[in-house]
Amino acid sequence: MASVIDTTKTLAVNHTTWTVMDVARKYRPDNSGRLRRPRSQRNFAPGWRKPTRQSDLIDSIFHNYPLGNAILNKLYDDPDDTDAWYDIYDGRHRIETIWRFVNNEFKYKGLLYRDLS
């Protein structure tokens, strides 16, 4: 039986490092930012609504622990990435938690983002 997988297709993988503030600036929960949730993306998982889960992520960032990669699909080519739009295929909960913290929607160790030095 012949394979139904087209082995001639290629996949371009680009590794880009963004700061926490890059992520916070590009994401908007209403999908008006440059990082967007495609329609196929599930709702915010109940486990991520727990304050401890979100605080654990922020704690990892403050301690400079590695976070899991996000998988994004660049919607069109923009050489310097200043105007590029991306669909989020993995990492939505981490991205949204970062945005929520930077926008003072929850506290980390009793402090909002705006209260930090």
Return the half-sphere exposure (C-beta side, CA atoms, 13 A cut-off) of residue 38: 13
pTM above 0.85, yes or no: no
Q: How far apart are the first and last CA of the chain?
A: 64
Q: What is the pLDDT of residues 55-72, one digit of tens each?
A: 999 999 999 999 888 999
Q: What is the pLDDT of residues 19-69, one digit of tens each?
A: 989 999 999 988 888 888 888 877 777 788 787 899 999 999 999 999 888
Please say if the pLDDT value at position 74 is more than 80: yes
Q: Name the pLDDT band for 80 (thresholds 50, 70, 90).
A: low
Compute the distance between CA of residue 82 and CA of residue 54 in angstroms, rounded to an integer.
28
